[in-house]
């Protein structure tokens, strides 16, 4: 007997729930986008090869979108990212194709990248792909600067254990879904 995943039940319930279309104010969206750019630049600055690759793409605009959320990023001459003007024409469009936030969370917990439709400049797409494959945020190092090596290591190990547990849970839940190939 096939057992349905609790994730699919929750997702079905959320999709049927009549919620009003709430739109955050424009200033909140802009501030959230700026915070994402700051985090991305922080991570990029830790890898000189990443900034040199991105510097070669200066002025190129990338549109990143998922469902109704989107923002445009522009490569700077310094090899970092900045928000592009809303009217800027994108050279590369990256669209996350999976509409389900639950499915995205499950794939992230498995360590998978989301499915993305890519349209536009091939060279820019290759550089973005290289960045996603090779650049990683060393959160433990950043925490060590703030709280010291030992607490940062302890916190990092706790987070890794939590993620491993969540991955096991997601794998087990996915194996319960009828038609799932991950047994």
At 60-107, the pLDDT tens digits run 999 999 888 899 999 999 999 999 999 999 999 999 888 877 777 777
Two structure tokens written together for 68: 């109704």
What pTM does this model have?
0.66
Sign of CA dihedral 64, 89, 35, 137: positive
Q: Which residues lie closer than 8 Å to 22 by C-beta, 6 or more apart? A: none
Per-residue pLDDT tens for 106-121?
A: 777 666 777 889 999 9
């Amino acid at each position: 007997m096939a057992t349905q995943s609790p994730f699919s039940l929750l997702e079905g319930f959320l999709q049927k729930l009549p919620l009003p279309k709430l739109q955050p104010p424009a200033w909140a969206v802009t501030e959230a986008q700026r915070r994402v750019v700051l985090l991305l630049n922080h991570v990029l600055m830790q890898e000189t090869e990443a900034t040199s690759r991105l510097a070669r793409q200066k002025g190129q605009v990338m549109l990143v979108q998922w469902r109704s959320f989107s923002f445009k990023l522009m490569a700077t001459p310094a090899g970092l990212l900045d928000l592009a003007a809303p009217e800027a024409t994108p050279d590369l469009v990256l669209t996350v194709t999976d509409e389900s936030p639950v499915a995205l969370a499950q794939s992230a917990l498995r360590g998978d990248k989301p499915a993305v439709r890519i349209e536009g400049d091939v060279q820019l797409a290759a550089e973005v792909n290289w960045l996603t494959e090779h650049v990683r945020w060393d959160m433990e190092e950043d925490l060590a600067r703030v709280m010291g090596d030992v607490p940062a290591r302890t916190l990092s190990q706790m987070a890794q254990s939590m993620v491993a547990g969540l991955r096991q849970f997601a794998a087990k839940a996915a194996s319960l879904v009828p038609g799932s190939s991950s047994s």
